[in-house]
Amino acid sequence: MSRPAVLFVCLGNICRSPLAEAAFRQEAGRRGLDVEIDSAGTGDWHVGGPPDRRAQAVARRNGVDIGHYRARQVRPEDFRRFSHIVALDRDNLAALKALRPADGTAELLLLLDVVEGRRGEAVTDPYFGDEAGFDATWADAVAGARGLADRIEGQL
């Protein structure tokens, strides 16, 4: 496998996928994994904007600054550029399958599929909830980051 590249995808790219990107950057750094990491959304509502302030707060509490991240939308070339495109829920996984060009080579999966006993589960969308929802999303992102790092190390 050439250098792994991972794209995390949720709906708007302001809550779950930036947190998954941050958690995976932290885990990859801890393990010394050489991997390209990014996040995007299937929707375009927040393109160019920063992550939700509550997502930034939970990331900061866990030692990661995501204030410089900017939302973007998934592009056809992402399916060739990234080795793994990781959806945060089934709806976004279905959207990614529909968007995937015929020459797309990325492996598509759900983040929690790589966590023991969580196959098929979605990372809860904290957007309409309170701060506690962002803590739960961070915990899921960390668990997924560990499982994904294990998987990628096993593929190297």
Q: Quick one: CA dihedral 1, 115, 78, 98, positive or negative? A: positive
Position 1 confidence tier, pLDDT thresholds 50, 70, 90: low
Q: What is the pLDDT of residue 156?
A: 83
Q: Counting every residue, how long is the chain?
A: 156
Q: Does 10 qualify as catalytic in the annotation?
A: yes
Distance of CA 19 to the CA centre of its chain: 7
Q: Quick one: CA dihedral 40, 141, 66, 82, positive or negative? A: negative
pLDDT (mean) for 6-16: 97
- Burial (CB count within 10 angstroms: exposed 0-12, middle 13-18, buried 19+), residue 34: exposed
pLDDT (mean) for 123-127: 93
Q: Does 125 qualify as catalytic in the annotation?
A: yes
pLDDT tens-digit profile of 95-117?
Answer: 999 999 999 999 999 999 999 99
Among 90, 68, 92, which Cα is nearest to 7's?
A: 92
Catalytic residue among 52, 78, 125, 140: 125
Enumerate domains of the chain plus CATH numbers: 5-155 (3.40.50.2300)
Catalytic residue among 15, 16, 38, 54: 16
The tokens 């309170």 sit on which residue?
130
pLDDT (mean) for 54-81: 97
pLDDT tens-digit profile of 31-55?
Answer: 999 999 999 999 999 999 999 999 9
Position 13 confidence tier, pLDDT thresholds 50, 70, 90: very high
Residue 23 pLDDT more than 80? Answer: yes
